[in-house]
Amino acid sequence: MTAALQFRNLTLGYDRHPAVHHLDGAVEAGALVAVVGPNGAGKSTLFKGIVGVLKPLAGRIERGDLAPQDIAYLPQAAEIDRSFPINVYDMVAMGLWHRTGLFGGVDRKARASIEQALSAVGLTGFEDRAIATLSGGQMQRMLFARLLLQDARVIVLDEPFNAVDAKTSVDLFDLVQRWHGEKRTVLTALHDIDFVRTHFPETLLLAREPVAWGRTATVLTPENLLIARRMCEAFDQHAEECAVPTAAAPLPIAGKPQGGAAGLHSHDR
Amino acid sequence: MIYDFLIAPFAEFEFMRRALAGTLALALGAGPLGVFLMLRRMSLVGDAMAHAILPGAALGFLVSGLNLFAMTAGGLIAGCVVALLTGLVARMTELKEDAALATFYLLSLALGVTIVSLKGTNIDLLHVLFGSVLALDDQTLVLIAGNATLTLVVLALIYRPLVLECVDPGFMRSVSRAGAPAHLAFLGLVVTNLVSGFHALGTLLAVGIMMLPAAIGRFWARDITKMIVIAAASGAVSGYAGLLLSFHTGVPSGPAIILVAGALYVVSVLFGQVGGLVRQALPQRHLEA
């Protein structure tokens, strides 16, 4: 198995305060990984880092041969302007961006795949509906249809089943399993521990620091969950500079020396 | 009779034909831009931008009089500098776009007023403020028409990223880097259209032919394409009817055009198909699920 993503002593955060601290490890290509942890554990931060929206404070993410369009991302709270006058069909069609680009047309083949995606999420017949008229669950179905069209090798879902009913989550999870069956790499942030236990082979338990990562049964033990729960959520405004040497990561990027002379990583950019 | 009233003014007087050509071209470019400004909740940005342009245009005027080139260049430079700085600050710092724009346009305005006061004021400056749509010369007409063409071509090029940036900026960032350049190009178009508009309508009213038609479009369409068409069309109608109004009653033409657009807007607010007040008030049986 080859790694789709590798984290090398990765620290991500805001204003020098780490939200994900010293994460090491690899996501195998084709893996189905649940990312679990309390609120503020850094799940969304990690995802933003993977997608490249957030630059690491230290360490790095190796994406191998993945191009930016190979990673599809469903944010926790999509910044969608629901009052915008656009219909479901056009919204879903945007998933074809990597094929159409700025000017490419939507040909018959593309239209067929849009219809397939709509029917896969159960939104056939909704093509002309304005997005403002969709319910929360229908909105999420529409976003999954767009993800389907993105045809990405790595799919990152940030709490995709929040605020949707049981039927919708079952339907949408079917798609996640379909992606898993197609050997795509899927990372999903979730809060439902029992659901993770039954459906996800691999789990990363995050509480700013990685608590455990591996087979779900060995990760989601009562002890580990307790550790994760005890993690303090608030930033310490007067936190000391972190003393763990950044140079712990092998293979420093040429020309970009990491860490300070004193062996501290100073988290500033 | 109808001919005398509706067509004769344009058939008989060349300056009316020029004014009509100029306003139609303006409406064609400014309407679609206004729709995007409105959908991005940037309706007041056009207004602020017009203030930012004023000092540049005034400076050009003071340096070389009522010279088309100097005033256009001054306005363009002032507008682009403000747009660029605003975009940069909004993207690179915590300050949101509206706050960044407010700071820069106020600075630009203050700077402009200072420069003007250094050289003393001039009555001709009123031309800059309120325009002179009835005195468009060949050069100005070419400028306005050229700008309308440029606007439509560039809008066609950046249409997709612009729409996507409006509706789902997070997704846009994840699939393409075209968002930022498209946004900057869009702001650039707003500036060129305001500059081109101030020759006809003045810096203060140039925004009117941009925002009023857009707001009108919102009341008649649920879909952005139709909205754009309606905006451009209602701008053109306002231009035509405003010039007639001005011709027959002697009201200044710039304000007349904007007043007609305002009347169309009031009608739309009342009777518009999408969320018009009367339609809301009418009792309608709901449908089956």
- Tell me which of B96-100, B119-123, B219-223, B255-259 is least confident: B119-123
pLDDT at A264 over 60: no
Residue B196 parent element (H or E):
helix B179-205
pLDDT at A253: 40
* CATH number for domain A1-66+153-168+182-269, candidates 3.40.50.970, 3.40.228.10, 3.40.50.11140, 3.40.50.300: 3.40.50.300
* pLDDT attached to residue B249: 92
- Chain A residue nearest residue B38, CA to CA: A84
Q: Which residue in A72, A78, A85 is closest to B224 by CB distance?
A: A85
Return the residue of B nearest to A87 by Cα: B223
List, for residues B148-196, the tens digit of each pLDDT value.
999 999 999 999 999 988 888 888 887 888 888 898 899 889 989 998 8
Asked whether the predicted pLDDT for residue A212 surpasses 60, the reply is yes
Does the pLDDT of residue A267 top 70, yes or no?
A: no
Nearest-Cα distance to chain B for A127, in Å, is 13
Contact of A48 with chain B, judged by CB distance below 8 Å, is answered with no
Task: Share the mean pLDDT of chain B.
Answer: 86
What are the residue ranges spanned by the domains of chain A?
A: 1-66+153-168+182-269, 77-152
Asked if B157's CB is within 8 angstroms of A103's CB, the reply is yes
The answer to whether the CB atoms of A80 and B168 lie below 8 A apart is: yes
Residue B255 sits in a domain whose CATH number is: 1.10.3470.10
Answer whether residue B206 shows pLDDT above 50.
yes
- pLDDT for res A263: 34
Q: Choose the closest CB to A94 out of B158, B171, B227.
A: B171
- What does the block give as tokens for B246? 């001005």
End-to-end Cα distance, chain B? 54
The predicted-structure confidence for A33-86, as pLDDT tens digits, reads as follows 999 988 888 888 999 999 888 889 988 898 888 888 889 998 887 778 888 889
Beta carbons of B168 and A79 less than 8 Å apart: yes
Band the pLDDT of A250: cuts 50, 70, 90. very low
Residues of B within 8 A of A85 (CB-CB) are 39, 221-224, 227
Q: Which of B39, B169, B178 sits opposite A79 (nearest CB)?
A: B169
Nearest residue in B to A86, CA atom: B223
Tell me the average pLDDT of chain A: 83
Q: B176 and chain A: CB distance < 8 Å anywhere?
A: yes
B289 belongs to a structural domain: no
Q: Are A95 and A145 in contact (CB under 8 A)?
A: yes
Contact B224 A86 (CB under 8 A): yes
Q: Is B164 on the interface with A (CB under 8 A)?
A: yes
Of B176, B224, B227, the CB nearest to A97: B176
Give the nearest chain B residue to A95 (CA atoms): B175
The shortest C-alpha distance from A229 to chain B (Å) reads: 30
Domain count, chain B: 1
Identify all chain A residues contacting B227, using CB atoms and an 8 Å cutoff. 85
**In this structure, is residue B286 part of a structural domain?**
no
pLDDT tens across B21-34, in order?
999 999 999 999 99
Share of chain B above pLDDT 70, in %: 93
- Contact list in A for residue B155 (CB cut-off 8 A) is none
Give chain A's radius of gyration (CA, Å): 20
B141 at A interface, C-beta within 8 A? no
Average pLDDT over residues A98-107: 75
Task: Tell which A residues from 137 to 196 touch B, by Cβ distance under 8 Å.
Answer: 146, 150
- Residue B286 is classified by DSSP as P
**B181 touches A: beta carbon within 8 Å:** no
> What is residue A268's predicted lDDT score, i.e. its pLDDT?
44
> B261 lies in a domain?
yes
Q: Is residue B191 domain-resident?
A: yes
pLDDT at A266: 44
Mean pLDDT of A234-247: 62
CA distance B166 to chain A (A): 7
CB atoms within 10 A of CB B101: 25
Q: Which domain holds residue B198?
A: 2-281
Q: What is the per-residue DSSP string for chain A?
A: --EEEEEEEEEEEETTEEEEEEEEEEEETT-EEEEE--TTSSHHHHHHHHHTSS--SEEEEE-TT--GGGEEEE-SS----TTSS-BHHHHHHGGGHHHHTTT----HHHHHHHHHHHHHTT-TT-TTSBGGG--HHHHHHHHHHHHHHH--SEEEEESTTTT--HHHHHHHHHHHHHHHHTT-EEEEEE--HHHHHHH-SEEEEEESEEEEEEEHHHHS-HHHHHHHHHS--S--TTPPPP-S-GGGSSSPPTT---S-TTS------
Quote the pTM value: 0.80
The confidence score (pLDDT) of residue A187 equals 94
Contact with chain B for residue A72, Cβ under 8 A: yes
What pLDDT sits at residue B267? 96
What pLDDT does B116 receive?
A: 67
Backbone conformation region of residue A45, classed left if phi is above 0, alpha if psi is from -120 to 50, else beta: alpha
Q: Is B283 helix (H, G, I), strand (E, B) or coil?
A: coil
Q: How far is B211 from chain A (nearest CA, A)?
A: 17
This model of the complex carries an ipTM of 0.74
B214 or B88: whose pLDDT is higher? B214
Is residue B278 over pLDDT 90? Answer: no
Cβ–Cβ gap A79/B170 under 8 Å: yes
